[in-house]
């Protein structure tokens, strides 16, 4: 048996990611809470509820687990509606609770990365139309408050998580609040305002904290033509990928918003990323269809699917994502990567294969600085509710009991070794050994 290790550079960061509404519990003052109360919005009528009870203090035990498992960083988000429950009130107790969390990470030897907007909006923003309006001034005020409060502990900031997903899900697919479908022009309006919000937050952060590192977390989804010989498929895949994948990074790099057929410039958005955050999960194929606006989308019929069919295990798509990110010439951080897999059947090999692809990318000298697995402990998965289990640790939502999945052990070995060894692959996912270490 070959004995080898895919080593990562010294100081490579290994962490996990989470988000306020998905982990904290008892967030009752935002758009998602309102959405969850409406019939039929969330599968099986699930609600975020108490989630992993981080607001009640259980972050302590989960951060202990992460630190013991060799993780050196954690990405979490701050819930705007807690800090600013109404336009005219700051909640200092909530700020203090978060201060304890970010300090708690430092005390455990982990670097906090903080996301300022992760899909949720305070009700007072939502009820006035949310990001259909230019709320960048309000977002900048919230940003200023948070950065001022935590700058002693935090200097890595994600302004907005997956703005492409936020706009597409809320206004085209209807799975996120406000649950609108096929409102393409409204989604463009929201995208424009999200760029304004990001730019305002970027400049605010640098004003308050000179040494800050600021980025966005861009979800990259491989969108490939189903029939490569058919120009309609090729054109549609290119158009969708341009809008979904390139729109925000391009806007942050150049200040130019590229809509199909027209351009719009927001000057102060140019050059507003210090690092490039990539969230990668899977890739898909698209076929033109006269009755489907977004074409017919499918996974490669030969690809292995996760237990709910949500994610196809496509590690080469991760390599493509990193190559794509590298074109922006910024330090790259994998701000999310993971799979939902309650029984941990596929996760070990998904993890090993994806980290192997990241190692290939690192060996081209692409400046990849860190990797955050999504997620540390099972999270409320938006409109899919609690059926989709992404955690290294499982969560029994009724008892709050944590259940360690084998992948937690695998990831711990990777973090501690700063690499992935043939021995570890043999132990956790021998079925892909030959692929990763061909004899």
- Smallest distance from ligand IFM to CB 284, Å: 14
Task: Please work out, in degrees rounded to the nearest 5, the angle formed at the alpha carbon of residue 81 by the alpha carbons of 161 and 146.
Answer: 70
- Smallest distance from ligand IFM to CB 289, Å: 25
Nearer to ligand IFM, 279 or 353 (CB): 279
Rounded to the nearest 10 degrees, the angle between the axes of helix 315-326 and helix 347-362 is 30
Q: Does 162 bind ligand IFM (CB under 6 A)?
A: yes
Nearer to ligand IFM, 238 or 385 (CB): 385
Nearer to ligand IFM, 34 or 287 (CB): 34
Q: Report d(CA 91, CA 83) in Å as an integer.
A: 5
Q: Does 27 bind ligand IFM (CB under 6 A)?
A: no
Q: Does 336 bind ligand IFM (CB under 6 A)?
A: yes
Q: Does 36 bind ligand IFM (CB under 6 A)?
A: no
Helical spans, DSSP H, in 181-230 = 184-208
Burial of 204 (0-12, 13-18, 19+ CB in 10 A): buried
Size of the site for ligand IFM (CB under 6 A): 9
- Nearest Cα to Cα of residue 358 among 1, 2, 14, 118: 14
- Smallest distance from ligand IFM to CB 379, Å: 6
Asked if residues 352 and 429 have their Cβ atoms less than 8 Å apart, the reply is: yes
Decide the pairing of beta strands 5-7 and 419-421. Answer: antiparallel
| Main-chain dihedrals φ then ψ at residue 12, nearest 5 degrees | -60, 140
Judged by CB under 6 A, the chain residues 192 through 211 that form the site for ligand IFM are none
Nearer to ligand IFM, 159 or 204 (CB): 159
- Smallest distance from ligand IFM to CB 434, Å: 30
Q: Does 381 bind ligand IFM (CB under 6 A)?
A: yes
Nearer to ligand IFM, 336 or 344 (CB): 336
Identify which range of 33-41, 150-158, 373-381, 400-408 contacts ligand IFM by CB under 6 A: 373-381
Helical spans, DSSP H, in 310-420 = 315-326, 347-362, 406-417
x/- site string to ligand IFM, residues 211 to 250, per CB under 6 A?
----------------------------------------
- Smallest distance from ligand IFM to CB 261, Å: 29
- Smallest distance from ligand IFM to CB 256, Å: 26
Q: What tokens appear for 211 in the block?
A: 């040494």
Nearer to ligand IFM, 140 or 194 (CB): 194
- Smallest distance from ligand IFM to CB 311, Å: 8
Asked if residues 62 and 24 have their Cβ atoms less than 8 Å apart, the reply is: no
DSSP state of 122: B
Q: Which of 13, 15, 19, 285 binds ligand IFM (CB under 6 A)?
A: 19
Nearer to ligand IFM, 174 or 238 (CB): 174
- Smallest distance from ligand IFM to CB 19, Å: 5
Nearer to ligand IFM, 153 or 372 (CB): 372
Q: Report d(CA 287, CA 233) in Å as an integer.
A: 5
- Smallest distance from ligand IFM to CB 118, Å: 6
Q: Which of 23, 120, 279, 383 binds ligand IFM (CB under 6 A)?
A: 279
Nearer to ligand IFM, 201 or 278 (CB): 278
- Smallest distance from ligand IFM to CB 374, Å: 5
Asked if residues 338 and 393 have their Cβ atoms less than 8 Å apart, the reply is: no
Task: Indicate the helix (H) or strand (E) that contains 336.
Answer: strand 332-337
DSSP state of 54: I
Q: Report d(CA 244, CA 254) in Å as an integer.
A: 17
Nearer to ligand IFM, 186 or 379 (CB): 379
Q: Report d(CA 333, CA 269) in Å as an integer.
A: 20
Torsion sign (Cα): 161, 341, 368, 302: negative
Burial of 4 (0-12, 13-18, 19+ CB in 10 A): middle
Identify which range of 87-95, 226-234, 264-272, 374-382 contacts ligand IFM by CB under 6 A: 374-382
Nearer to ligand IFM, 204 or 306 (CB): 306
Task: Indicate the helix (H) or strand (E) that contains 172.
Answer: none
SS3 177: coil
Q: Which residues sit at the interface with ligand IFM, rule CB under 6 A?
A: 19, 22, 162, 279, 336, 374, 379, 381, 390
């Amino acid at each position: 048996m070959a004995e080898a290790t895919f080593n990562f550079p010294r100081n490579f960061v290994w962490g996990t990611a989470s988000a306020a509404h998905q982990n904290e519990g008892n967030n009752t003052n935002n758009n998602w809470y309102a959405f969850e109360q409406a019939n039929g919005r969330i599968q099986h009528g699930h609600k975020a509820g108490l989630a992993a009870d981080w607001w009640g203090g259980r972050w302590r035990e989960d951060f202990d687990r992460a630190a013991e498992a060799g993780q050196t960083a954690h990405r979490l988000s701050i819930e705007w509606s807690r800090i600013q429950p109404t336009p005219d009130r700051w909640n200092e107790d909530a700020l203090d609770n978060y201060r304890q969390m970010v300090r708690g990470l430092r005390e455990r030897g982990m670097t906090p990365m903080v996301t300022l907007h992760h899909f949720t909006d305070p009700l007072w923003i939502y009820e006035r139309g949310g990001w259909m309006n230019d709320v960048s001034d309000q977002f900048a005020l919230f940003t200023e408050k948070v950065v001022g409060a935590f700058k002693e502990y935090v200097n890595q900031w994600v302004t907005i998580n997956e703005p492409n997903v936020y706009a597409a899900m809320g206004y085209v697919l209807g799975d996120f609040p406000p649950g609108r479908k096929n409102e393409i022009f409204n989604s463009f309006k929201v995208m424009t305002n999200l760029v304004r919000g990001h730019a305002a937050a970027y400049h605010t952060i640098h004003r308050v904290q000179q040494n800050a590192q600021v980025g966005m977390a861009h979800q990259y989804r491989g969108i490939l033509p189903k029939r490569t010989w058919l120009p309609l498929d090729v054109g549609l895949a290119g158009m969708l990928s341009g809008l979904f994948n390139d729109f925000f990074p391009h806007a942050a790099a150049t200040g130019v918003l590229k809509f199909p057929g027209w351009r719009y410039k927001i000057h102060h958005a140019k050059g507003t990323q210090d690092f490039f955050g990539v969230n990668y999960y899977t890739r898909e194929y698209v076929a033109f269809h006269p009755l489907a606006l977004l074409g017919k989308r499918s996974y490669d019929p030969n690809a292995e699917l996760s237990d709910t069919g949500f994610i196809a295990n496509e590690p080469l798509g991760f390599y493509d994502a990193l190559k794509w990110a590298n074109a922006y010439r910024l330090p790259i951080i994998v701000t999310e990567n993971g799979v939902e897999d309650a029984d941990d059947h596929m996760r070990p090999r998904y993890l090993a294969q994806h980290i192997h692809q990241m190692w290939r990318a690192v060996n081209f000298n692409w400046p990849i600085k860190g990797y955050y697995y999504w997620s540390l402990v099972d999270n409320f998965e938006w409109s899919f509710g609690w059926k989709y289990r992404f955690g290294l640790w499982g969560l029994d939502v009724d008892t709050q009991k944590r259940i360690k999945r084998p992948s937690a052990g695998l990831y711990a070995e990777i973090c501690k070794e700063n690499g992935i060894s043939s021995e570890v692959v043999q132990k956790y996912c021998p079925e892909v050994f030959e692929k990763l270490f061909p004899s």
